[in-house]
């Protein structure tokens, strides 16, 4: 079962910021939050990840609440090409303690409108 | 670098036929994965490999087999195709150090669309 909850869909106007929420209330202390997106008919693409501090890269910003139970992915100036399904994923640990599995839920379909 | 490549892009199979989906990566990644994605759903892990000669089952392994004889290649074999295996198959790879408690970025291929009739 996915360990995250996301809204099934969101709309955003082109040029405006898109804020995609994710709840992960059962996250443990050493689990990371990852964001991937999947543009129609393509393979998923990595966006950003974080543990407890806010993160920013050339694609997006990730804001994680202090209790780590939720996070928000921010696309600062959404374009039509940002229309995609966005997946929020909490990494899983195996018994050996190393993380390598990703569990994809249904994600949020973000539609950027002109 | 070409990244992760998959062949074929699309295939139609008859029930009971077999085929191999090919996946190759040129990034010297030690971890490789096979996922399937049914319409409107998220990705489900079929098999994964943490290095050449080592494979393990994921969430939905029934009906599939894999091998990892080299670092670069991770083929997925369907022995007796069934309509339930109609899906889009994605291969991915990543580099991970086993004692690091962090997932490394997974890089995905473009996918193989499989239709079983």
> Which residue of chain B comes nearest to A105, CA vs CA?
B42
DSSP state of A80: G
- Give the residue on A whose Cα is nearest the Cα of B59: A103
Is B39 an interface residue toward A (CB < 8 Å)? no
pLDDT at A95: 45
A99/B contact by beta carbon, under 8 A: yes
Q: Look at strands A61-64 and A55-56 and give their pairing.
A: antiparallel
Contact A38, A84 (CB under 8 A): yes
Task: Report which of A75, A14, A10, A84 is spatially closest to residue A42, judged by C-alpha positions.
Answer: A84
- Mean pLDDT over the full length of chain B: 91
Mean pLDDT of B28-36: 93
Per-residue pLDDT of chain A in tens (114 residues, 90 and over written 9): 558 999 999 999 999 999 999 999 988 887 889 999 999 889 999 999 998 889 999 999 999 999 999 999 999 999 999 999 999 998 765 544 444 667 888 899 999 999
Alpha carbons within 13 A on the beta-carbon side of A2: 20
What's residue A92's pLDDT?
A: 64
Strand segments (E) across chain A: 9-13, 18-23, 33-38, 45-50, 55-56, 61-64, 70-75, 84-90, 92-93, 99-101, 108-113
B58-103 tens-digit pLDDT? 989 999 999 999 999 999 999 999 999 999 999 999 887 665 545 5
Q: Which of B45, B59, B103 sits opposite A99 (nearest CB)?
A: B103
Query: Measuring CA to CA, how many Å separate A76 from each of A13, A15, A17, A51, B52?
Result: 11, 8, 4, 21, 41
Q: pLDDT value at position B33? A: 93
In the block, residue with structure tokens 């098999």: B47
- Residues of chain B found within 8 Å of residue A42, distances taken between Cβ atoms: 110-111
Say yes or no: B51 contacts chain A, CB-CB below 8 A. no
**In the prediction, which pLDDT does B98 show?**
60
Using a CB-CB cut-off of 8 Å, the residues of chain A touching B111 are: 41-43
Q: Does B37 score more than 80 pLDDT?
A: yes
CB distance B99–A102 less than 8 Å?
Answer: no
């Amino acid at each position: 079962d996915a360990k995250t909850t996301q809204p099934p869909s969101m709309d955003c106007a082109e040029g405006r910021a898109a804020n995609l929420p994710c709840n992960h209330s059962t996250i443990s202390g050493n689990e990371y939050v990852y964001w991937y997106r999947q543009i129609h008919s393509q393979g998923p693409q990595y966006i950003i990840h974080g543990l407890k501090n806010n993160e920013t890269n050339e694609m997006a910003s990730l804001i994680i609440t202090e209790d780590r139970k939720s996070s928000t992915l921010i696309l600062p100036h959404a374009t039509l090409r940002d229309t995609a399904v966005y997946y929020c994923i909490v990494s899983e640990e195996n018994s050996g303690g190393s993380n390598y599995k990703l569990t994809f839920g249904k994600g949020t379909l973000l539609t950027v409108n002109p | 670098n070409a990244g992760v490549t998959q062949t074929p892009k699309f295939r139609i199979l008859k029930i009971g036929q077999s085929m191999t989906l090919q996946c190759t990566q040129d990034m010297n990644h030690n971890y490789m994965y096979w996922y399937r994605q049914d319409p409107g759903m998220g990705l489900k892990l079929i098999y994964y490999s943490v290095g050449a000669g080592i494979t393990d089952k994921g969430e939905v392994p029934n009906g599939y087999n894999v091998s990892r004889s080299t670092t670069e290649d991770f083929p997925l074999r369907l022995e007796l195709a069934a309509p339930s295996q109609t899906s889009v198959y994605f291969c991915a790879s990543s580099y991970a150090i086993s004692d690091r408690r962090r997932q490394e970025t997974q890089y995905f291929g473009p996918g193989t669309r499989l239709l079983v009739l």
